[in-house]
Amino acid sequence: MNNPIQSSKGRILTGHRPTGPRHVGHLVGTIDYWVRLQNIYECFFLIADLHVLTTDNEHPQHIQNNIIEVLADWLAAGIDPDRATLVLQSAIPAHSQLSLLFSMLVTVARMSRIPTYKEQVKELHLQPSLGLLTYPILQTADILIYKTNAVPVGEDQLPHIELTREVARRFNQVYGATLPEPEPLLSATPRLPGTDNRTMHTSYGNAIYLRETPEETAQKVMNMYTDPTRTHPTDPGHVEGNPVFAYLDAFDPDREGVEDIKERYRLGKVGDVTVKRHLADVLNQHLAPLRQRRQAIIARPGELRDLLRAGTERARPFAEANLYEIQAKMGLNPTL
């Protein structure tokens, strides 16, 4: 097949659902990693707007706004639209069409056993939509429609990559070698906890956003969960499982300084307030250039839309060609 987008190093695809502005957990866990991968791979970064609807379809006015917020964060963090292809999922119907075809290759029982689905069902307190059940099949289509070789994801997404590999294998068995079995790429960076030490999550109110002001960030840092066993600055403190130190590990460039603060914290020679003030400075300094870029970017939302449109148009013929190939192998001929 004629592939308009060539690369010798292999192709990756990954993405986010546009659920709102990105937080520092997204930055250290995923976006920083994607930025590095841009030098090695041909990259597709997907705005998975259809996936938003699987759990929230009652706030249509949010989606468009969140697409702009996510794009602004990505670009400010170093995603480069000249090197990577930005794709809007819903604007390429071939994604949904391929999802329908792949849904024929997987049993309902297999889908209902996927851990992310089971967790969501427990959390939702309402009847899951059929779309939620097929969420990972749509993701499989997102990945395989570009014949992707590798998918950078967080650990929580591994079951979806496993499904993707199964679908590719099954397809190849039945219809002949067509699709790669993509490898998951896990970033080495440990996951950053939220300010309350739970998983950082938009809906938990425990996230530090890239778009915040330094004052807002400092406020959140000062209210951060620390060592609950410590009531006085002179009590010996615990560094492990303490989010303040997880953040210093992630953001403080002065490694020796961090080890020194940790040692003094363990010995009860430095108080929480001092450590938090330091962390707030470190975090705000780290984010300052990104925030400056973001302000300039978000001031021109039209340009963001243009970049997304350009990437989507670049991806479209490739997605459509691969869809046709798959349709033909499955015995369909939609062009008659």
Residues contributing to the site for ligand TRP (CB under 6 A) = 13-17, 46, 48, 51, 139, 142-143, 151, 153, 157
Rounded to a whole number of angstroms, the minimum distance from the CB of residue 177 to ligand TRP is 22
| 103 and 154 Cβ atoms separated by less than 8 Å | no
Task: Tell the smallest beta-carbon distance from residue 95 to ligand TRP (Å).
Answer: 9
SS3 124: helix
* Amino acid type, 83: R
Nearest approach, Cβ of residue 165 and ligand TRP (Å): 13
Element (H, E) at 13: strand 11-16
Tell me whether residue 16 or residue 262 sits nearer to ligand TRP (CB atom). 16
Which is nearest to 294 in space by CA: 212, 189, 233, 186? 212
Which residue number is nearest to ligand TRP in terms of Cβ? Answer: 48
- Closer CB to ligand TRP, residue 14 or residue 242? 14
CB of 263 to ligand TRP, least distance (A): 37
Nearest to 155 by CA among 22, 29, 251: 29
Task: Give least dist CB 301 to ligand TRP, A.
Answer: 22
Question: Phi, psi (5° rounding) for residue 283?
Answer: -65, -45
Residue 221 near residue 283 (C-beta atoms within 8 A): yes
CA atoms of 41 and 133, how far apart (whole Å):
31
| Residues whose CB is less than 8 angstroms from the CB of residue 243 and which lie 6 or more positions away in sequence, other chains included | 192, 193, 194, 195, 197, 224, 225, 226
Nearer to ligand TRP, 34 or 265 (CB): 34
Shortest distance in whole angstroms from residue 17 CB to ligand TRP: 5
CA–CA separation, 249 vs 259, rounded Å?
A: 9
In whole angstroms, what is the distance from residue 324 CA to residue 320 CA?
A: 6
Our CB check for ligand TRP shows the closer of 206 and 242 to be 206
- Report the nearest approach of ligand TRP to the CB of residue 79 (Å): 14
Degrees to nearest 5, angle at CA 296 with 295 and 297: 90
Which residue, 78 or 154, is less far from ligand TRP as judged by CB?
Answer: 154
50/208 with CB nearer ligand TRP? 50
The H or E element containing residue 202 is: none
The residue (of 141 and 261) whose beta carbon lies closer to ligand TRP is: 141
Q: Given the complex with ligand TRP, which of 169 and 255 has the nearer CB atom?
A: 169
CB of 225 to ligand TRP, least distance (A): 25
